[in-house]
């Protein structure tokens, strides 16, 4: 029945959709997402997307304003009017990305690598084309056609209310930000980005020298580039040649390069660069367990720039790992004061409050962290806290959210679900089936959960009045299976299909030890 509904939904949606000219290339394309939905998708993902990539760079508002001005100058020369926005992210990883609807971001790690305003214009022009030419939206449309599930949601909301799809699109947020564009999309973004540069008055040769630099850096296989810009925008000699050909086919070289202006606008960021290099080294040292080296490096970073909240958060992480909780709390407090809009400051402080037993303060911080960016770590930590406060139902919801992640927190949350939710809803977790054997019902129960179970109450049902039950008091281990031959007769396999088997009750074996294991798994690395 569900497959039939999905097919009907897809058919209806395709009837409502149609071909339209791409606003950048002029080519006819099938359009499933109207512009209003495309814009809402980007709007809903912009804030969490920025949180995922370091949060906004708040230390230099003038730099952010400068990047916005350059971006809007290019956007004004584009072929599609969208509510374009531009942000600078507080990340050392050189990167830039665009969401559907014109929401664009560039990292401080990329800004320090550029040499002119024209190179910045080339980067932003490229991202503007991704948004204007619907490259991200088209990837979503392909996903919709393949899966079909979200289409039914979109139709069910009706009219211009796309709140249902906005929820579904939130699940696509990380994928949209990290998607690898096709070769054709990258070449298209390069070509029209250069066209927009020329229209806006910039020297298009900057796009050529920038791509040459990217190709050279890609050959050096530097990890920060490979994990950032090059992961989603892989450079190539083909792109370099195409850029040269595009520039050669335009008007004679000219336009602004803006080297001196760019150096002035990024001067403060460049002065702070040694501090960020020490900060990145300190993070690696802490991850490697060398807290003394990490502490020395982060203190060196703070000597250069004491107003950077990320440095104070890392200081708190180091001090907390050394058992210096009072000093760690002071560091987290400074981090929150300096940047009250970044989720991780609250998450780390909330965890520390939990260790110190201050559950009201911990809850407040973890709630704030999740409001800024829902994460598996935050959901699991708050779920643990709510269990202690007796709010089991909401805790289970948070564990279910966290369990969708493949992270350590996700694995711990799944075990927590097996403890707190499985006893009430064993049928959600256990696999059951009926067979006919020698004219009698045979019941097979498998346990894919991570906990051993006992006290299984099994019901075999045909209707409310026709059923039978039995209890299994043996221990069903994780990955184990029980096969129970009953004495109830079944005439034939056709009659067998009218019956249904379910587990009504199940009790985790050794719950105290399991809880201890969950608590250990719940100690997430900073």
- Which residue(s) pair with 505 in the sheet? 457
**Is-same-fold flag (270-339; 426-511)?**
no
Q: Please, which residues have CB within 8 angstroms of residue 402's CB and are 6 or more apart in sequence?
A: 376, 377, 379, 380, 383, 409, 410, 412, 413
* Confidence (pLDDT) at 183: 79
Nearest CA-CA partner of 47 in 103, 127, 106: 103
| ∠ CA 287-292-295, rounded to 5° | 80
CATH-assigned architecture of domain 426-511: Sandwich (2.60)
* Confidence (pLDDT) at 443: 95
pTM (2 d.p.): 0.85
| ∠ CA 288-294-300, rounded to 5° | 155
* Confidence (pLDDT) at 15: 47
Q: Which among 38, 40, 117, 127 is annotated as catalytic?
A: 127
- pLDDT averaged per 10 residues in sequence order, the chain, 526 residues: 49 55 74 83 90 94 98 96 97 91 95 95 94 78 58 38 29 59 82 92 92 76 58 73 85 83 97 97 96 98 98 98 97 98 97 95 97 91 94 95 87 91 93 92 94 93 89 93 92 86 90 63 45
* Confidence (pLDDT) at 441: 92
Nearest CA-CA partner of 95 in 209, 201, 179: 179
* Confidence (pLDDT) at 515: 62
* Confidence (pLDDT) at 514: 65
Domain boundaries, the chain: 2-248, 270-339, 426-511
436 has catalytic annotation: no
Q: In this structure, what token pair is assigned to residue 203?
A: 């020297």
Can you name the CATH fold of 270-339? 1.25.40
* Confidence (pLDDT) at 232: 63
* Confidence (pLDDT) at 520: 61
Is residue 511 classed exposed, middle or buried when 0-12, 13-18 and 19+ CB atoms within 10 A define those classes? middle
Half-sphere exposure of 293 (CA within 13 A, CB side): 12
* Confidence (pLDDT) at 132: 85
Residue 71 burial (CB count, 10 A): 24
* Confidence (pLDDT) at 173: 57
């Amino acid at each position: 029945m569900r497959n039939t509904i999905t097919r009907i939904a897809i058919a209806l949606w395709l009837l409502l959709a149609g071909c339209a000219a791409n606003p950048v290339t002029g080519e006819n394309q099938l359009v499933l997402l109207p512009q209003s939905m495309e814009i809402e998708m980007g709007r809903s993902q912009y804030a969490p997307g920025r949180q995922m990539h370091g949060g906004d760079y708040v230390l230099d508002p003038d730099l952010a304003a400068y990047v916005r001005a350059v971006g809007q100058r290019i956007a004004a020369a584009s072929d599609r009017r969208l509510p374009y926005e531009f942000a600078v992210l507080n990340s050392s990883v050189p990167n830039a990305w665009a969401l559907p609807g014109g929401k664009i971001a560039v990292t401080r790690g990329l800004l320090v690598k550029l040499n002119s305003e024209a190179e910045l214009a080339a980067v932003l022009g490229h991202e503007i084309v991704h948004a204007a030419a619907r490259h991200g939206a088209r990837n979503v449309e392909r996903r919709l056609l393949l899966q079909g599930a979200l289409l039914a949601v979109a139709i069910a909301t009706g009219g211009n209310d796309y709140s249902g799809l906005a929820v579904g699109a939130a699940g696509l947020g990380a994928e949209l930000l990290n998607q690898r564009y096709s070769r054709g999309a990258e070449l298209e973004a390069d070509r029209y980005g250069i066209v927009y540069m020329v229209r806006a008055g910039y020297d298009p040769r900057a796009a050529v020298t920038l791509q040459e630099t990217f190709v050279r850096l890609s050959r050096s296989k530097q990890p920060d580039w490979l994990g950032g810009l090059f992961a989603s925008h892989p450079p190539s000699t083909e792109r370099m040649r195409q850029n040269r050909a595009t520039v050669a086919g335009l008007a004679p070289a000219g336009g602004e390069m803006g080297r001196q202006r760019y150096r002035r606008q990024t001067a403060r960021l460049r002065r702070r660069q040694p501090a960020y290099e020490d900060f990145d080294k300190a993070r690696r040292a802490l991850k490697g367990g060398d807290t003394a080296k990490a502490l020395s490096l982060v203190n060196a970073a703070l000597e250069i720039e004491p107003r950077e909240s990320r440095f104070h958060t890392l200081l708190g992480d180091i001090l907390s790992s050394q058992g210096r909780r009072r000093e760690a709390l002071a560091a987290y407090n400074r981090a929150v004061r300096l940047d009250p809009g970044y989720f991780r400051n609250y998450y780390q402080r909330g965890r520390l409050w939990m260790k110190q037993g201050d559950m009201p303060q911990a809850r407040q911080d973890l709630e704030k962290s999740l409001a800024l960016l829902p994460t598996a770590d935050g959901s699991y930590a708050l779920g643990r806290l709510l269990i202690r406060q007796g709010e089991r139902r909401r805790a289970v919801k948070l564990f279910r959210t966290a369990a969708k992640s493949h992270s350590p927190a996700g694995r711990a949350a799944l075990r927590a679900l097996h403890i707190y939710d499985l006893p009430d809803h064993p049928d959600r977790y256990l696999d059951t089936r009926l067979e006919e054997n020698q004219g009698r019902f045979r019941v097979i129960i498998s346990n894919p959960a991570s906990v051993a179970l006992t006290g299984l109450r099994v019901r075999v049902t045909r209707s409310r009045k026709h059923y039978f039950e039995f209890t299994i008091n043996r221990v069903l281990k994780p990955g184990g299976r029980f096969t129970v031959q009953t004495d109830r007769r079944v005439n034939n396999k056709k009659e067998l299909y009218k019956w249904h088997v379910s587990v009504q009750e199940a009790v985790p074996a050794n719950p105290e030890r399991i809880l201890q294991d969950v608590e250990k798994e719940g100690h997430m690395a900073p």
